[in-house]
Amino acid sequence: MQHHREISSSVAFERSVRHSILHWYKHHARHFFWREQHGKNPTPPDAYIVMVSEIMLQQTQTSRVQEKLPLFLATFPTLKALANADNATVIKAWEGMGYNSRALRLRDCAKAIVNNHKSVIPSSVEDLLALPGIGSYTASAIAAFAYHQDVTVLDVNIRRVYSRLLRPMPTTISIAEENEIQQFAERIYPRGNASCWHQAVMDIGALFCTARAPKCSACPLAVLCPSTGNMEEVKKSKRPEPSWNGIPNRIWRGRVVQILRELEDEAGITLAELYERLFQQQNNTEPLFINTDKHNSEGAWLLNLVQGLERDEIVEIQQQQGIEKVSWRDLSHCILRLYKG
């Protein structure tokens, strides 16, 4: 009898959660370019737009994607246009998005779809997972948002909302066990409405059920959520990342790529010229490339940075004949440009 009451209570709770979330979303959904329908007779949002937006959203704020996505699509209006683009063109179109390797993975994904799926983005999670650069979240998101498939979609916002609904979370960084989240996710979403449901939960996670300073009192789930007002505010410690002069290498990589984007022609610049431009940005001075311990240390770091970009096929280094890639001094006059592929 007790077990039956617990099941009934759980079913009633989940029903109330569904009603509250969908009712709120009906009146307060955020409007984004990738959620809209495009074309004369659209049904779900265009699968190509959804795929591009999901790759962009992985490590970029929604406001930036909202601004940049239409510009990217103006350059590559179709999947085939993107599939046929060289590396340099894709990287230039990705300006302002950061993490440039994502752009190349997206282009490679487009190539695979053109070559293996007759230019039609797959609708099943299994086929999507087989594409280069597509992980479990992105595959599920495309299936749900572009094709209205009944699948569970789990991103960081949804996991946080579900965790706090499952039971009282002691701190703002506490998360339920993954198997609990998976089971709850499978039970809670309404069949036939997976797209709206998951976008609604994402919106609640972004607007109210935030990682820091959650706005519990304003949340549409406040009266239902067992974590409301009970969580201790705790900041998640950040993992240290490779840096130079206190600035992460990923920021330096972005600065290098931006300098190359802004070149008026494709002739490229020497590594020594790149060095001067980078450290002019950093120090607001105009250092000369001279042979000192300080400059050689900075030069060796910069060489390692651009060689990483070269391995990722974002830039190419044109060596002088007969010179091996052994030191900064040897390579300072080699030419650097965006890699065309």
Instruction: Give the residue numbers annotated as catalytic, written as ranges.
Output: 54
Q: Tell me the three state secondary structure of residue 251.
A: helix
| Residue 8 tokens, joined | 């009934």
DSSP state for residue 232 in the 8-state scheme: B
Distance between CA atoms of residues 89 and 102, nearest Å: 14
Distance between CA atoms of residues 120 and 137, nearest Å: 20
Q: Tell me the three state secondary structure of residue 20.
A: helix
Q: DSSP letters of 260-322? A: HHT-SSSS-EEHHHHHHHHHHHHHSS-------HHHHHHHHHHHHHHHHHHHTTSEEEEPPTT
Question: Given strand 269-270, what is the order of strands in its sheet?
Answer: 269-270, 335-338, 315-318
